[in-house]
Structure 1
Amino acid sequence: MSVNVQSPVTELNGNELLAWLNISLQTHFTKVEQICTGAAAFCQLMDWLFPGSLVLDAVRCQSTEKLDAVYNYRLLQTAFKKVGLTGNVPVEALLNMDVPACLKFLQWFKSFFDRNTTGRQYDALKARKGRSMGPPAPTGID
């Protein structure tokens, strides 16, 4: 069972949260709202915290369609229920890339992650079988 977090307790700003997420999941997000449009990052964090709470292979990592994002949010909400987490994900605000809502949800999720992590080692890229997530890696060529 999970330890619920009622409100974000992290003081990290958007850039610090992006850095944490990019290091943790081996991604290259540059904007908070990129994370919220597809929910794949949140799904993978749930897989890390609670193995078996969702089927990571079912997550649509490169979701470009709203239908894919809605599908991923359903997976996330189902995983929340499996681990006893109450409350709803603000799906509409996240899908509409409401930046304050995206930042608030990411802050909440970081607090939730910190309260529930066991320190288990996790290779995010290997867990998602090399599938990319988010924007492509910068090439260094302008």
Structure 2
Amino acid sequence: MATVATNIGIMDKAYFVGRNEILTWINATLHLHLTRIEEAASGAVQCQMMDMTHPGVVPMHKVNFDAKTEYDMIQNYKVLQEVCTKLKIEKHIEVNKLIKGRPLDNLEFLQWLKRYCDSMNGGIVNENYNPEQRRCKGLKERNTKGPHKPSKSLQTNIVPNISSIDGGESVGPRQGKVPSGGENSAGQIDALTEQIMELKLSVDHLEKERDFYFTKLRDIEKLCQSPELDQLPVTTSIRNILYSADAKESSAEAKDPEANQ
């Protein structure tokens, strides 16, 4: 496996495959509807392609098909990198470039991925592989093992639409209609329970994102405190931005770092 991946050089015919062919390959194989290469920047598509090529190797419950923040995208690429390591695939994944959504960077990686998958299965799609079922199964396991939002981008919506809840009003059908039977009541309870769960997951998601960026800022602060950088003008400007009370103050101090000295 490692040999196949390593032999895909920059002048390989794989890198002359056009974006339309790549999109057609992705959509036909995974039953998706991507229209742009950068829509695959989250890493979820790449993970499922490896799941199709090597059944049972990819932990699909860890793959977030609704990843929109850099934090969630990085988690998907971590899964992909772990799979490559397990399969002894020597491929460097430039995550920082891919998550920016740059078309060329993502196209090149998908060209490599197509060449790799074709070399493993001869270009023949596994007829026993059900991509939608695998995404649904991964989503169910994901919801039971950890707090994540359902996918609304790459996969077909699984959770039914939920009507909004008006604050302070009792829950019931609109326009004062009485439910015709127990099934309607049970359906509403399920819908409301699902909405409450989504709200809880959303809060958890925001907290994780907050912690992610706080850690980055803390690392920058530590770097600015190092002796070799402490007295540099650019370090002073960075500290002014970090410690400013608001955005306006931050902008002014960054332009004139000596203003407060």
- Scaled to the shorter chain, the TM-score interval is 0.7 to 0.9
Superposition deviation, residue 135 in structure 1: 5.1
Question: 2:64 — aligned with what?
Answer: 60
Larger Rg: 2
Question: 2:83 — aligned with what?
Answer: 79
Question: Are 1:32 and 2:37 matched, yes or no?
Answer: yes
Question: Are 1:117 and 2:121 matched, yes or no?
Answer: yes
- Determine if contact 1:66/1:95 at 8 Å carries over to the other structure: yes
- Determine if contact 1:29/1:134 at 8 Å carries over to the other structure: no
In proportion to residue count, which structure has more helix?
2
TM-score normalized by the length of structure 2: 0.48
Which protein, 1 or 2, shows the higher relative CO under an 8 Å CA cutoff with sep ≥ 6? 1
Unaligned runs of 5+ in 1: 138-142
Q: What letter is aligned with 1:35? A: A
Change (3 A) 1:127 1:77: same
| Runs of 4+ more than 6 Å apart | none
- Determine if contact 2:30/2:132 at 8 Å carries over to the other structure: yes
Identity %: 27
Report the Cα distance in structure 2 between the residues aligned to 1:134 and 1:76, rounded to whole angstroms: 19
Question: 2:27 — aligned with what?
Answer: 22
Report the Cα distance in structure 2 between the residues aligned to 1:9 and 1:53, rounded to whole angstroms: 28
Report the Cα distance in structure 1 between the residues aligned to 2:26 and 2:117, rounded to whole angstroms: 11
Question: 2:109 — aligned with what?
Answer: 105
TM-score normalized by the length of structure 1: 0.85
Report the Cα distance in structure 2 between the residues aligned to 1:33 and 1:68, rounded to whole angstroms: 16
Unaligned runs of 5+ in 2: 140-150, 157-261
